A and B are shown apart, each in its own frame.
Chain A
Amino acid sequence: MRLRSTEAGWGAPMRALHWLIAALILAQAIIGLTMVGMGLTPAKVRVFALHKSVGLAILALVLLRIAWRLGERRPDDPPATPPWQHRAARAMHLALYVLILAIPLSGWWFNSASNAPLVWFGLFEVPGLTGGYDPVWKPRALLLHQTLFWLLVALLVGHVGAALWHHFRQRDDVLLRMLRGAPKNGNKR
């Protein structure tokens, strides 16, 4: 198992963090969209608490991933990639990093402005970001949290679409090298 990314593929830590964060984002979206429609019961309170804990876990993993990524090289584009595709891919990936940082932060901000409890998986209390109840910023933080989420959904359609396009239409290893790392026989399957 290769730790470092090379010109031909991603190292194991980048791949593990990519798929772990992807799975958590999917779970988090399902939890978040379900919980807002629930009637006020202790179950709703527990689901909200779960959403907050998963969100903080995603935030921590994204920070770890960015820290690791800063010390990594990016695998080369497939041969003969047009410059616009290169730039589009870089812009997309940068935007995804910004969103998966900003969405948990805006949720944390909303929770803080709501003066709601924040206990990570029941283990320890996480401090607020606003110094208590803040009815002015509370609705703005919520609007930001929701808007950024739907923006992420839109970008993920493009991200997943591009990965499938590479795999099925271009028949290159862009998707495979995120799944199993650097192939032994170069870029073309």
Chain B
Amino acid sequence: MKHWIARLGLITIALLVLPAPALAQTWQVDAAHSKLTFTNSYQDVRYTGQFSRFTAAIDYDPADLAHAKFDVTVDITSLDTQNAERDQAALGAAFFETTKFPRAHFVTTGFRKTPNGEVLADGTLTLRGITKPVTLVVKFVPHGDTATLDVTAQLKRLDFGVGTGEWSDTSMIGNGVTVHGHLLLRSASPL
């Protein structure tokens, strides 16, 4: 009995003294210095668009990818391609159909490192009511209390039904879309 109590005491002390396993670092996104852009082609001309409103919950520690997580919600109605007619058409029923699908959501399912040291974030993107796996290439650069996070993904617009009917013609609007996120992160620690 005594032996048993001693053992319990040792375990208790060990739990108190030994460092807890590191929790993934939580960051706050500095929206004013962060951008979510994409490039696509229209009539064979590359153009860049931006979603000016999005929120991102970022848990990331490069030394602890097992606990990393990105959860991003994009306000599709904040689309801006520097062309009023194109923006208006893009929000309409043939494209993003924002009256039914005003937001897109991306959440990671896991992170991995490639043999050449690149970090990939696997996740699912829900866009226009369709959920598909999407992988981000992650570049994380810490600068003390802040960090920059650059993520890039290659999507196909037709996978998500963006551009239906006649607009599925990829010679008019390219199928490939490169999405790029540049986030300025600030440490969310209480101090």
Chain A residues with a Cβ under 8 A of chain B: 40-43, 45-46, 49, 114-119, 122, 125, 132-133, 135
A41 partner, pick from B42, B44, B45, B166, beta carbons under 8 A:
B166
Residue B116, interface by CB 8 Å: no
State whether A117 touches B166 (Cβ < 8 A).
no
State whether A135 and B172 are in contact (beta carbons under 8 Å apart), knowing that A49-B43, A117-B44 are contacts in the complex.
Answer: no
Q: Mark B147-160, 1 if CB is under 8 A from A, else 0.
A: 00000000000000
State whether A135 touches B84 (Cβ < 8 A).
yes
Q: List 24 A-B contacts (CB under 8 A).
A: A41-B166, A42-B166, A42-B167, A42-B169, A42-B172, A43-B166, A45-B43, A45-B172, A49-B43, A114-B83, A115-B83, A116-B83, A116-B85, A117-B42, A117-B44, A117-B45, A117-B47, A119-B43, A119-B44, A119-B45, A125-B45, A132-B82, A133-B82, A135-B84
Main secondary structure of the interface of A (DSSP, over half): loop
B85 partner, pick from A46, A114, A125, beta carbons under 8 A:
A114
Residue B89, interface by CB 8 Å: yes
State whether B82 touches A40 (Cβ < 8 A).
no
Docked pose: A116 CA to B84 CA in angstroms: 10
Chain B residues contacting A119 (CB-CB under 8 Å) are: 43-45
Q: Mark B54-81, 1 if CB is under 8 A from A, else 0.
A: 0000000000000000000000000001
Query: Shortest Cβ distance from A38 into chain B, in angstroms?
Result: 13
State whether A40 and B89 are in contact (beta carbons under 8 Å apart), knowing that A49-B43, A119-B45 are contacts in the complex.
Answer: yes
Q: Which residue of A lies closest to B42 (CB)?
A: A117
Docked pose: A122 CA to B82 CA in angstroms: 22
Q: Which residue of B lies closest to A49 (CB)?
A: B43
Chain B residues contacting A122 (CB-CB under 8 Å) are: 44
State whether A117 touches B169 (Cβ < 8 A).
no
Ranked nearest first, the 8 interchain pairs of A and B with the lowest CB-CB distance are A133-B82, A117-B45, A117-B43, A115-B83, A115-B82, A42-B166, A42-B172, A42-B169
Docked pose: A116 CA to B83 CA in angstroms: 7
Q: Other than the known A42-B172, A125-B45, what 20 A-B pairs have Cβ atoms closer than 8 Å?
A: A40-B89, A41-B166, A42-B166, A42-B167, A43-B166, A45-B43, A46-B172, A114-B83, A114-B84, A115-B47, A115-B82, A116-B86, A117-B43, A117-B44, A117-B47, A119-B43, A119-B44, A119-B45, A132-B82, A133-B83
| 8 Å CB interface, B34-53 against A | 42-45, 47
Docked pose: A119 CA to B84 CA in angstroms: 19
Chain A residues contacting B43 (CB-CB under 8 Å) are: 45, 49, 117, 119
Chain B residues contacting A45 (CB-CB under 8 Å) are: 43, 172
Chain B residues contacting A135 (CB-CB under 8 Å) are: 84
Chain B residues contacting A43 (CB-CB under 8 Å) are: 166
Q: Which residue of A lies closest to B43 (CB)?
A: A117
Query: Shortest Cβ distance from A54 into chain B, in angstroms?
Result: 16
Query: Shortest Cβ distance from B87 into chain A, in angstroms?
Result: 10
